[in-house]
Chain A
Amino acid sequence: MKPTITGQPLARIDGHAKVTGAARYSAEVQISGVAYGVLVTSACARGRILAIETNDAEREPGVLAVITPKNALRLPDTKVPENDRVVQVLQDDRIVYSNQPVALVVAETLEGAMHAALLVKVHEEKEPATVRLDDEIKNAFEPEPQSASGKKSADQVRGDPARGLREAAMRIDETYQTPYETHNPLEPHATTAVWNGPDRLTVYDATQGVFGVRKKLAKMFALPTGNVRVLTKFVGGGFGCKGTPWSHVILAALAAKQVGRPVKLVLTRPQMFGMVGGRPLTRQRLSVGANKQGKLTALRHESVSTTSRFDDFLEPAASVSRHSYACENMATSHRLVRLDIATPTYMRAPGEATGGFALESAIDELAHALKMDPLALRLASYAETDPTEDKPFSSKSLRKCYAEGARRFGWAWNKRSPARADGMLVGVGMATSSYPAYFSKAEALARMLPDGTALVTSGAVDLGGGTYTVMSQVAADAIGLPMDRVRFDLGDSEMPEAPRSGGSQTAASCASAVLLAGRALRDKLVRMAVADAGSPLLGARPDEVLIENGRMTANGRTDSFADVVKRAGGAPVEERARAGPDEARKKWSLHSFGAQFVEVLVDPDLGHVRVKRLVGVFAGGRILNARLARSQLMGGMVWGIGMALHEETVYDEKIGRIMTRDLADYHVPAHADVQVIEPYFIEEEDVHVDPAGVKGIGEIGITGTAAAIANAVFNATGKRVRSLPITPDKLL
């Protein structure tokens, strides 16, 4: 049956709740008897807690506990699950980064806890610490394969890159740097923990994945997984920092156990710098060679990124070079450097956002050196198949993205654009976008109720991208119901398991499971009808039954889902389905692609850059809802503007402390930074990627953007900025 609702640009179904303030986020769940937790964090970046004076805080009325490493409940297990981040949960006196939790005040009221937290005096013994990459780069090491994205090895070589460079007519050999960044979703991290007896825990958490939170809590408190329930109905943005449970999640549960009360712990904005991850700093060397026609002869991409002393997070920045261009001679490598910082983590388009800046800048430099149109140079080395894995792409519409983007933008290659009459320098630039199409195991449950409405559940989350809406659309089509008779619910670890919402995989994974569960339910209802003596469809062949709006028709006779359920006794009829990658999927290289074109204005006196117009054309498989997808892409593209021009987490290199610890000092794009943003799609039918045909669009909008802007700044000013963000000082 041809889908009719999936793909429609419907308004979000959670819109009403969000515009009225009725949507309840994790910090807003009302729990009777809840106490408030406020964290105290370390000043120094490395050292030991000598003593913590808690008397003044404890004497404050309403203070229930001041929890420090001295009196904190001992956790049965301090190890975290595999592929999860190490946390600092008051089990020892070590300080391993600045802004680490060292105490937790619990009080009857929020203001009481905030006030008492100010009265806690922490005495630290400082040890020499360094947060400077240059100080430690000599100790760079090759990370374990399992910490690299997609479990690929850190290094890959194909052909003979050294020879390819020697034989090139033109070479570029440059180093690019991307800074530390901090996600800063507008909703602060928040956890409310409720113990129902000594071994049953319920947690309301602002998370990108309820099952990961459940797993970590169950392990660290040594509870059966089924005894922990994690819920999140609305999440106010994540972008990666809510992907794994951090220290505060464990501490909320610990505190609730210790004081014997439910505890709500909300991080302050300054506490979100470090403790909940961020994008690591990357330094990337690109050595690229091409013949006179612009065909690549060699591509070498070496990336070094930072991690903490106690955990490995690898930013897979060089991976983007493995599948972007046709080139016989390629080498990519990743190295890690340990510093006295908190562990970084995934941040929107990990690897592709940072690596794409370096690669797409280098390609632009090469084009300029060859006096070639950068778009023509990209087309000269267009990869028809994946150059590293020697696999076909499951679908790739990048050529169309280039053409459509160039047409929409009015791309006309000039070596230097003329300045405007008012003296503003004008520049244009472009870059390629790409992001892998991830698909993880997901389950969904579809249930037909006696009133003829369906309830479909899967324990995914909705970070704001529109999971509630698109899953309802997919479910409605799969079952054969109108939208208003389907309800999709999510965000509860008691529901069928869905992957963490990250890596642009929720739509692909969850929609595939919903699709399969919905179809299975529909088929079951048809089978019940044709075998039911009370049904007008008795004896009909299931394949001749047509379904529309909850009614089944065959040979001029009709029955309804509601009647089938009622005749069967009235208990809901349900089907569960699982979707996930199979062996056949491994035959393909799976990526979304896109192209971004940008016009910038640069003030030659102030060095100020404005993005006047940003056009992006993206091919991400099937688009489930164009209205919501456009929003996602626009948001991603604006993140690209932030990455290019504004965002940087700045450390004081002497004391190892983040200096940009709020939204006044850490600059995210504001209204005035955004002018014309135009996202477009190239729709693709991809039967190999996943049952829903979806590649995901959450990340791709930010990929390539920063390079396109840097390339446009070069076009405007003749200055090549190889270290983000492009702040005015770099142009003066």
Chain B
Amino acid sequence: MRLELRINGSVRSLEVEPLKRLLDVLREDLILTGTKEGCGEGECGACAVLLDGQLVNSCLVAVCQAAGASVVTIEGLSSSALTPLQRSFVECGGAQCGICTPGMIVAGQCFLDSGAAATDEAVREAIAGNLCRCTGYTKIVESIQHAARETR
């Protein structure tokens, strides 16, 4: 079926299978490979994107559910310069192998945009749906808290 999506601000018209995973549309059809697949069943959060501002795991979203909606991926968070959160991930060592990183940053940005206080507990709760196998998490939490201090 043909459907329209607003991806990172620009409208894309696509001819796709309606039940195709949004994740595969992003990665295979639109070559937006910043969104990662870690588990394919909503456990790891590597495929997190914003769907009309809501944090979702794109492996669990059929593309027809996103018809007419606005999707923001890691590629859509920054234009030429890095965002404060992206900068923090580089500076604080929040990224290691880099597979969980886009999902962590999308989830972290969603949290920062909510305006909630970036306490240790609140940050951990905000990214509870994102697994990391390399960093041991501490530096990811630090990255988000550092960005919160920079931007508020």
What residues make up the interface of A, taking CB atoms closer than 8 Å to B?
11-12, 14-25, 27-28, 30, 109-111, 184-188, 234-237, 239, 266, 268-269, 463-465, 627-628, 630-632, 634-639, 662-664, 668-672, 674, 677
Q: Given the interface contacts A186-B99, A635-B96, does A668 sit within 8 Å of B133 by beta carbon? A: yes
Q: Given the interface contacts A20-B74, A188-B38, A635-B96, does A239 sit within 8 Å of B133 by beta carbon? A: yes
From B20, B41, B96, B102, name the one whose CB has the most chain A CB atoms within 10 angstroms: B96
Q: Which residues of A contact B99 (CB under 8 A)?
A: 25, 185-187, 236-237
Q: Given the interface contacts A12-B90, A111-B17, A465-B96, does A668 sit within 8 Å of B134 by beta carbon? A: no
* Shortest distance between the CB of B79 and any CB in chain A (Å): 10
A-B contact pairs, 25 of them (CB 8 A): A12-B90, A19-B82, A20-B34, A20-B82, A25-B33, A25-B98, A28-B27, A110-B24, A111-B24, A186-B46, A186-B131, A186-B133, A187-B36, A187-B38, A188-B38, A236-B98, A463-B97, A631-B93, A634-B139, A662-B43, A663-B44, A668-B131, A668-B133, A669-B136, A672-B128
Q: Which residues of A contact B140 (CB under 8 A)?
A: 671
Q: Given the interface contacts A20-B34, A21-B34, A185-B133, does A631 sit within 8 Å of B139 by beta carbon? A: yes
Question: In the complex, A21→B89 CA distance in Å?
Answer: 13
Among B31, B78, B93, B100, contact of A30 (Cβ-Cβ < 8 Å): B31
Please provide the chain B residues from 67 to 105 with a CB less than 8 Å away from any CB of chain A in the complex.
73-75, 78, 82, 86-87, 89-91, 93, 95-102, 105
Q: Which residues of B contact A20 (CB under 8 A)?
A: 34, 74-75, 78, 82, 86
Q: Which residues of B contact A236 (CB under 8 A)?
A: 36, 97-99
Q: Which residues of A contact B43 (CB under 8 A)?
A: 662-664
Are A186 and B105 within 8 A (Cβ)?
A: no
Are A234 and B98 within 8 A (Cβ)?
A: yes
Are B134 and A464 within 8 A (Cβ)?
A: yes
Are A671 and B137 within 8 A (Cβ)?
A: yes
Are B133 and A237 within 8 A (Cβ)?
A: yes
* Shortest distance between the CB of A272 and any CB in chain B (Å): 10
Question: In the complex, A186→B135 CA distance in Å?
Answer: 12
Tell me, yes or no, whether B39 is within 8 Å of chain A by CB. yes
Q: Which residues of A contact B35 (CB under 8 A)?
A: 21
Are A662 and B97 within 8 A (Cβ)?
A: no
Q: Which residues of A contact B105 (CB under 8 A)?
A: 19
Are B32 and A674 within 8 A (Cβ)?
A: no
Q: Which A-chain residue is minimally distant from B33 (CB atoms)?
A: A28
Tell me, yes or no, whether B7 is within 8 Å of chain A by CB. no
Q: Which residues of B contact A464 (CB under 8 A)?
A: 96-98, 134
Given A186-B97, A464-B98, A677-B138; 13 other pairs, CB 8 A cutoff: A16-B90, A19-B105, A22-B75, A28-B27, A187-B38, A187-B97, A188-B38, A630-B93, A634-B139, A635-B136, A663-B38, A663-B41, A670-B131
Q: Which residues of B contact A669 (CB under 8 A)?
A: 136-137
Of all A-B residue pairs in the complex, the 8 with the closest CB atoms, nearest first, are: A21-B34, A464-B97, A638-B136, A15-B90, A18-B98, A236-B99, A21-B74, A634-B136
Among B32, B39, B134, contact of A662 (Cβ-Cβ < 8 Å): B39
Q: Which residues of A contact B127 (CB under 8 A)?
A: 671
* Shortest distance between the CB of A636 and any CB in chain B (Å): 8
Among A21, A463, A627, contact of B93 (Cβ-Cβ < 8 Å): A627
Tell me, yes or no, whether B55 is within 8 Å of chain A by CB. no
Are B38 and A269 within 8 A (Cβ)?
A: yes
Please provide the chain B residues from 112 to 150 with a CB less than 8 Å away from any CB of chain A in the complex.
124, 127-128, 130-141
Are A18 and B38 within 8 A (Cβ)?
A: no
* Shortest distance between the CB of B57 and any CB in chain A (Å): 12
Question: In the complex, A632→B137 CA distance in Å?
Answer: 11
Question: In the complex, A188→B141 CA distance in Å?
Answer: 24
Are A634 and B135 within 8 A (Cβ)?
A: yes
From B43, B73, B98, B131, name the one whose CB has the most chain A CB atoms within 10 angstroms: B98
